[in-house]
Amino acid sequence: MSQRSRSKKPPSGGRRAALPREERREERHLAPSVTTGATAGLYSRGPAPKPPVVTSETAPKEHAVEDRLRRTAKRRAAIPAWEETGPRAAAGNSQPPRRRSAEPRPTVTWYQAVLWNLKRVKRRWRHLLREKQASRFPESNRFPIQILLLIWGIIPMWGSLLEERLWGRRQRAISRGSPRQERPERSARRVLYPLLFLGGTACIALIALFFSTYTYGTTVSYDGEVIAVMSSQSAAEEVRRDLEQVTARTLGESFTIDDSLIQYSSGLLRRQDLVDPETYAEDLSQEVGLVTAAYCLYVDGEFIGATPYAGALDELLKQLKAAGTDEDTISCDFAESVDIKEEYVPSDEIMNLGYLAETLYSTKTAEVTYEVQKGDTWSEIAEAHSLSSKELEALNPGYDINKLQIGEILTMSASVPYLTRTVVQKERYVAEVNYDVEYTDDASMYKGDTKVTSKGVFGAADVVANVTYVNGEEVERTVLSSVTLREPVTEQQLRGTMERPTWYPTGTFRWPVTGRITSRFGGRKSPGGIGSTNHQGIDIAASRGTPVCAADGGTVTYSGWMGGYGYLVEIDHGNGYKTRYGHNSSLTVSVGQHVYKGQQIARVGSTGNSTGNHCHFEVRYNGVARNPLNYLP
């Protein structure tokens, strides 16, 4: 009969079916105690021992257990299946106990199972938190203590397992069953196999430890001193060849390392003594002493210096940028391209960091350009750039120093810093606000003349601006916001409307005569070819008696003989400008006379220190001679 058919028998059909669940569990716990020797063999790994012989001593005990189970079954069978004892029966509940429905349970979906497991984890987590708060296991709060406790528990466990493996199981098997004869060779194998396993494991561990500690390598010595341990001699030779090539390329000449200085010895060496090829190359280059691996600083591609310390140049540049900055500094950078490269350099180019910083703070001589402006002379340009006329001429070959043209570009030599530091600073200040000018026409004044009747007053404004400095000099100012604090007061002026007289200066010059320039402004040979002089004007050739005209309107301040000039006329044009006209044959104006632009003032001649008929024309500004060609159209 199958298990399913047996489970459907009525309660009175069998002793086990009549028992409730608690009694069946009790019977299940008691059953091993009355099993026979054959059943005991199922709980051991060895062959089942022969069933023990039931004697008069063991029989009463087994019969007593069976009698007790039989009485319990009868007592349970006497109670109807639908009755219930206990508190519920005492309370008058005579309903039969609820039985399970024969319908199948509903299928549990996967997410319901997940939710059930999450709730289970949550309950477990709360339980652990309560245990931790109650400090029931204070050692669990310390991870190292847990590890020690784990090791402390594993050691005796493994000892017990080893003891059980070697001796304990045999003794229990013998005590449970009938004694049997054990073959000596099998017992020896059971002891020998674990020992062989442990010994083999130890040998493998020792071999692995040896090869992880030692390896076959090559010791490299230079001039009798060990400098590195390489993996092989070929690897060391390759590093040597690379270093020879780098040294030759750096020094610009062929170079080889003497073979007698390098020795190799191979054998078993400690693995931790091995070095990589880069380290060996640095050590070998230091021993040779000609080139050194260093960090090189380049500014716009120009080599500045080198240092063997990694990160030192970055820190130095950071300090140079941060100098003089504060919380209002928006940005700080270098205008030049600054690069740091790791490469080999000659050993004598290695610099101390202090000297390298001093070099970056200093200046260098560089070429700058200058555009010729109106009124410039060769000597003035040279003096403004701290150069002599000869030095300026050497820097600009091919230029005629006596004939400068406005807009020409001249090359100058000037001191410039190695690094151009650009700083953008946010500044807040009170600035003046320009006032407006209101004009009133006045017929009693000449055109272009003004007169202040009521002086204006500047206003004030609170300004926030970004100011750009290049090496400490302001080059740009961008106003971010401006708040007026005080309004400006408008200025009142009178403006002339009367026409100016014809003799009034116009501010521009014309040619006094028409002709060829025979001598230019600047240095020249003296008349007659003896010595040299500084010619302070230009000579314009013309026939004797040709009219000489005023270059611009003005007042005659001199008219007469003046030494080497011969007959000379000088006109004051105002604003610091005066013109001179020399070597005339005759004069047509007098001192104090007003002349207009283009009016005849003299006739061409060759009086004074002169070698031919011409007009000597000078332009002076505040008493200093200027090149007239810079003012003539």
CB 581 within 8 A of CB 568: yes
pLDDT of the residue at 13: 42
Residue 480, SS3 per DSSP: strand
pLDDT of the residue at 177: 54
The C-alpha atoms of residue 282 and residue 288 are separated, in whole angstroms, by 10
What count of other Cβ atoms lies within 10 Å of the Cβ of residue 290? 16
Indicate the pairing of strand 437-446 with strand 491-498: parallel
- The backbone torsions φ and ψ at residue 249, rounded to the nearest 5 degrees and listed phi first, read -70, -35
- CA 339: distance to chain centroid? 13
- Phi/psi zone of residue 263: left (φ > 0), alpha (ψ -120 to 50 degrees), beta? beta
The C-alpha atoms of residue 291 and residue 236 are separated, in whole angstroms, by 18
Distances (CA, A) of 302 to 223, 314, 318, 338, 412: 37, 17, 20, 9, 21
Q: In the beta sheet, which residues pair with residue 296?
A: 306, 341
pLDDT of the residue at 7: 41
- The backbone torsions φ and ψ at residue 611, rounded to the nearest 5 degrees and listed phi first, read -115, 0
pLDDT of the residue at 611: 85
27, amino acid identity = E
CB 566 within 8 A of CB 581: no
- Under DSSP, the state recorded for 290 is S
- CA 325: distance to chain centroid? 19
88, amino acid identity = R
- Phi/psi zone of residue 619: left (φ > 0), alpha (ψ -120 to 50 degrees), beta? beta
CB 467 within 8 A of CB 424: yes
- Beta-carbon contacts of residue 112 (< 8 Å; ≥ 6 apart): none
In our burial notation (b when 16+ CB lie closer than 10 A, e otherwise), range 66-84 reads eeebeebbeeebeeeeeee
Beta strands in 238-290 (DSSP E): 262-270
Rg of the chain over CA atoms, in angstroms?
59
The C-alpha atoms of residue 178 and residue 70 are separated, in whole angstroms, by 31
Structure tokens of 272? Answer: 């931790």
- The backbone torsions φ and ψ at residue 98, rounded to the nearest 5 degrees and listed phi first, read -70, 130
Taking the CA atoms of 268, 270, 276 and 277 in sequence, report the sign of the dihedral they define: negative
559, amino acid identity = S
CB 513 within 8 A of CB 572: no
Structure tokens of 421? Answer: 């530091």
- Under DSSP, the state recorded for 613 is S
| 3-state DSSP of 16-82 | HHHCCHHHHHHHHHHHHHHCCHHHHHHHCCCCCCCCCCCCCCCHHHHHHHHHHHHHHHHHHHCCCCC
pLDDT of the residue at 362: 80
Q: What is the pTM (predicted TM-score) of this model? A: 0.43
Full set of structural domains in the chain with CATH: 366-417 (3.10.350.10), 424-498 (2.20.230.10), 516-630 (2.70.70.10)
pLDDT of the residue at 62: 55
Q: In the beta sheet, which residues pair with residue 474?
A: 469
What count of other Cβ atoms lies within 10 Å of the Cβ of residue 40? 19
- Beta-carbon contacts of residue 272 (< 8 Å; ≥ 6 apart): none
Residue 560, SS3 per DSSP: strand
User: What single string gives the DSSP state of each residue in 67-113?
Assistant: HHHHHHHHHHHTS-TT---SHHHHTT--SPPPPPPSSPPPPPPHHHH
- Phi/psi zone of residue 471: left (φ > 0), alpha (ψ -120 to 50 degrees), beta? left
The C-alpha atoms of residue 509 and residue 579 are separated, in whole angstroms, by 10
Q: In the beta sheet, which residues pair with residue 410?
A: 370
Residue 136, SS3 per DSSP: coil
Q: N- to C-terminal Cα distance for the chain? A: 138
In our burial notation (b when 16+ CB lie closer than 10 A, e otherwise), range 603-613 reads bbbebbbbeeb
- The backbone torsions φ and ψ at residue 580, rounded to the nearest 5 degrees and listed phi first, read -125, 145
What count of other Cβ atoms lies within 10 Å of the Cβ of residue 486? 13
Q: Which residues of the chain have pLDDT under 70?
A: 1-65, 68, 72, 74-108, 132-144, 161-191, 366, 402, 413-414, 524-532
